[in-house]
Structure 1
Amino acid sequence: MPTSLADNLPPAIAVPLVTVIIPNYNHARYLPRRIESVLSQTVSDMEVLILDDCSPDQSRTVIEGYARQDARIRTIYNEQNSGSTFKQWNKGLALARGKYVWIAESDDYAAPTLLATLLARLEANPALGLAYCDSWIVDEKDKQLGTYEYLPGEPADERWQTDFEENGLTTIREYLSYRNVIPNASAAVLRRRVLEQVGPADVSLRLMGDWLFWGKVLAVSDMAFVAQPLNYFRKHSNNVRSASLLNGVALLEETHLLRAMLGYGAPNPLLLEKKITFILRNWYLSWAYNDVPADRYRQMRHNMQVVVPGFQGRFARELGKFLVSNRLGGLRQLIGDGLIYPWLKRKRA
């Protein structure tokens, strides 16, 4: 276990106000801006835990350069890749000593006032377990692509145009069963007392462990949103997500998340229906285009049977609609692309 930062710091700052966790894998290109945006925050009472998950690039060289310059930085290196962002989250959370925690993803960055703005909300209201701000979406070259859309196409999306505070269970029931409305950990600051209460992130999910984690936090605390975009959320090509779409992992996690969120109470019925329709349509498309193991379909069916009474009948009815949609385009997709093309492909092989 790494030695405590308190062993090397003066007593006045031995217990920091904020623990900043920077989990990194292979982001040497983005680390300087990430680390500098943390160290330049107007709130300086912090410890910074930089975790590197055995990166093959020059990440450790970059990290060591900053660690030599600032005593607030503590480094934690894996000698073998963990294979999970959320395992790194949990390692950082177990080491955190601050009253508050900021998981600052290694490819994002922040305005200097992000911490001060969100901490002001948390300090003013002890019932808040989480406060987060709006985000600029940026590409790999830092070009701003606009701010995040929380519920695109829905009237409720307007809620995120102004600051608000809300009961956590209300947030889950109204929105989280449909969409992850806390899309980027870098935009959020959390109360460590609440994190200790809810326990670690679920490492069984490859893509959506953050979504599930927010549900656990909001089930026992309230949340605050600041409409000012103080976070810079980087969007770039994601081969892991693309592969997960093709092999059914992403769709399976969607069904897992829906089942988990419904465990917190009856959700917004209109958004629930849209979510079920979304899952079913993508289920049928995955038959046509993706190579999904049969066991994943069985797990998906089990999750949906818990969520939807009479799921088998609903599944058949929606499949019928899909097959005759777009002038039988669905039928052509399923038979042509889903059955005939894979059979021809196997024959050629």
Structure 2
Amino acid sequence: MPAAPVVTVMVPSHNYARYLPGALRGVLRQSVEDIEILLVEDGSADQSPAVARAFAARDPRLRVLTHADGRNHGLPASLALGLARARGRWTAFLEADDLWHPRCLERRLETAEREGAGVVFNDVAPLIMPGVDTTWLEGHARRAMRRCARHGRAAPGAWPFLLENGIPTFSCAMARTALLRGVSLQTPVPRWLDWWVWAQLAARASLALVPERLTRWRLHPESWHHGVEIPGYLEDLRRMGRGFRRLFARDLVRRGQWGALAFLWLPAPLRLAARMALAARDDGPARVLRCVSGRLGAARSIRGGPRGGFA
């Protein structure tokens, strides 16, 4: 068997045939060549399987995995399938509609070695599709990334992620494969699987941020995160809080982090209010209101075609 690669790149794919070629070209052009690419085909009904097979025929580093019955099983099952086959010391994620800078993995590996981190993530550049408001990205997402990187650089601890998700997309992060195999993928809120995973990893390992926009994150109306109504958002927060209590209550007691433990028992509206208060302290109330309205799909639509770039 060939030597284990440095990085396994996992690309879960479901009905994104129009975006998949760009994502795969970005992986295959990475400056780090010692990689394997596991494309997990999750029962697509479009041309995604044909696109994946065509790329695999041209580059042996790419393998296409499918579920045993060939049907759609969702992101948690697809990631579990990929992790079972991953051979790399690191596992990086790339969603099939996103793009990477050619030096994305190189810069992450450099940062991981310098910082001794178990999880590395980078800043993102939005690739905006028609009908999407990104006010929340420029405010909440970047503030949360900086905050979680700052608090997660030293001793491991899930507390920053109990408040909010500091790594806004799978496509901007990678983690040591051995650590990933120890986390639960059974998230109480499927569209927040990334938050569920990062919180568990933060409790086990230190984090490091690459302050460069190495990922182009495609934002479009088909995304799970677009246009969420407030009642649904609060219900999701309630379910996540209950799941986090199950995962972390014992550890928080052991660490004596009584404030974090009490926070998890607050009703969802109060936890959301606490997040908004923190953001208002950092960014000002007016900007927070704009970010919240954009995140919940209540703000204006953005007109025009895709835009955004690496910086």
Normalising by the residue count of structure 1, what TM-score does the alignment of the two structures yield?
Answer: 0.65
Whether 2:209 is the aligned partner of 1:222: answer no
Residues 188, 243 of structure 2: 8 Å contact kept = no
* 1:180-219 paired onto structure 2 within 5 Å: 180-196=165-181, 198-219=182-203
Inter-partner Cα distance in structure 1 for 2:89 and 2:81:
17
Shift of 1:224: 0.3
Question: Does 2:239 match 1:256?
Answer: yes
The answer to whether the 8 Å contact 1:160/1:227 transfers is no
The answer for the alignment partner of 1:233 in structure 2 is 217
1:138 to 127, 133, 151: 127
AA aligned to 1:167 is: A
Distance 1:90 1:66 in 2: 23
Mapped to 1, the partners of 2:8 and 2:36 lie a distance apart of 5
How far does residue 259 in structure 1 lie from its aligned partner after superposition?
3.6
Matched, 1:88 2:78: yes
Partner of 1:301: none
Higher RCO (CA-CA < 8 Å; seq separation 6+): 2
The code of the aligned residue for 1:17 comes to V
**What do residues 1-30 of structure 1 show as CA deviations (whole Å, max 9, x unaligned)?**
xxxxx4xxxx4xx31111000000000010
Compared with structure 1, are the counterparts of its residues 101 and 137 closer, same or farther at alpha carbon in structure 2 (3 Å cutoff)? Answer: same
2:57 is aligned with 1:65: no
DSSP-derived class of the 2:95 partner: coil
Kindly name which structure, 1 or 2, has the bigger radius of gyration based on alpha carbons: 1
Query: 1:149 and 1:177 mapped to 2: Cα distance?
Result: 21
Taking the aligned partners of 1:146 and 1:252, their CA distance within structure 2 comes to 23
Residues 189 and 239 in structure 2, CA contact (< 8 A), matched pair in contact too: no
Distance in 2 separating the partners of 1:279 and 1:144:
20
1:204 is displaced (CA, Å) by: 4.7
Counterpart Cα distance in 1 of 2:83 and 2:187:
14
Preserved contact between residue 50 and residue 73 of structure 1 (Cα < 8 Å):
yes
Query: Contact 2:9/2:92 (CA < 8 Å) preserved in 1?
Result: yes
Give matches, 1:115-154, under 5 Å: 115-126=105-116, 128-140=117-129, 148-149=137-138, 151=140
Change in Cα spacing, 1:157 to 1:123, as seen in structure 2 (3 Å) is: closer
SS at match of 1:224: strand
**Taking every aligned residue pair, what percent have the same amino acid on both sides?**
26
Q: Deviations over 1:220-242 (max 9, x none)?
A: 11000111111111111137557
Distance of 1:162 and 1:205 partners within structure 2: 24
Does 2:153 match 1:166? yes
Q: Deviations over 1:285-306 (max 9, x none)?
A: xxxxxxxxxxxxxxxxxxxxxx
1:94, distance to aligned residue in structure 2 (A): 1.2
2:7 is aligned to: 18
Gaps of 5+ in 2: 274-311
The one-letter code sitting in structure 2 at the alignment partner of 1:209 is L
Distance of 1:103 and 1:157 partners within structure 2: 20
* Aligned mates of 1:89, 1:158 — CA distance in 2: 23
Q: 1:210 to 1:274 in 2, by over 3 A?
A: same
2:63 paired with 1:74: yes
Structure with higher helix content: 1
> In angstroms, what is the RMSD of aligned CA positions?
3.5
User: How far 1:115 sits from its partner (Å)?
Assistant: 0.3
Greater Cα offset, 63-72 or 252-261: 252-261
Task: Report the equivalent of 2:101.
Answer: 111
Number of residue equivalences: 261
Query: Contact 1:98 / 1:192 at 8 angstroms: preserved in 2?
Result: yes
The 8 Å contact of residues 14 and 41 in structure 2, kept in 1 or not, is answered as yes
1:27 aligns with 2:10: no
Aligned counterparts of 2:121 and 2:34: Cα–Cα separation in 1: 19
| Deviation readout 1:51-72 (Å, 9 max, x if unpaired) | 1111111111111111111010
Secondary structure of 1:208's counterpart equals helix
Partner of 1:179: 164
Cα 1:69–1:227, aligned 2, differ >3 Å: closer, same or farther?
same
Question: What is the DSSP-based 3-state SS (H/G/I as helix, E as strand, rest coil) of the residue aligned with 2:118?
Answer: strand
| Contact 1:162 1:227 (C-alpha < 8 Å) held by counterparts | no
CA distance in 2, matches of 1:203, 1:274: 19
Name the CA shift for 1:203/1:245 in 2 (closer, same or farther; >3 Å).
same
Structure 1: tracts of 5 or more residues without a match: 1-5, 281-349
Contact 1:51 1:75 in 2 (8 A): yes
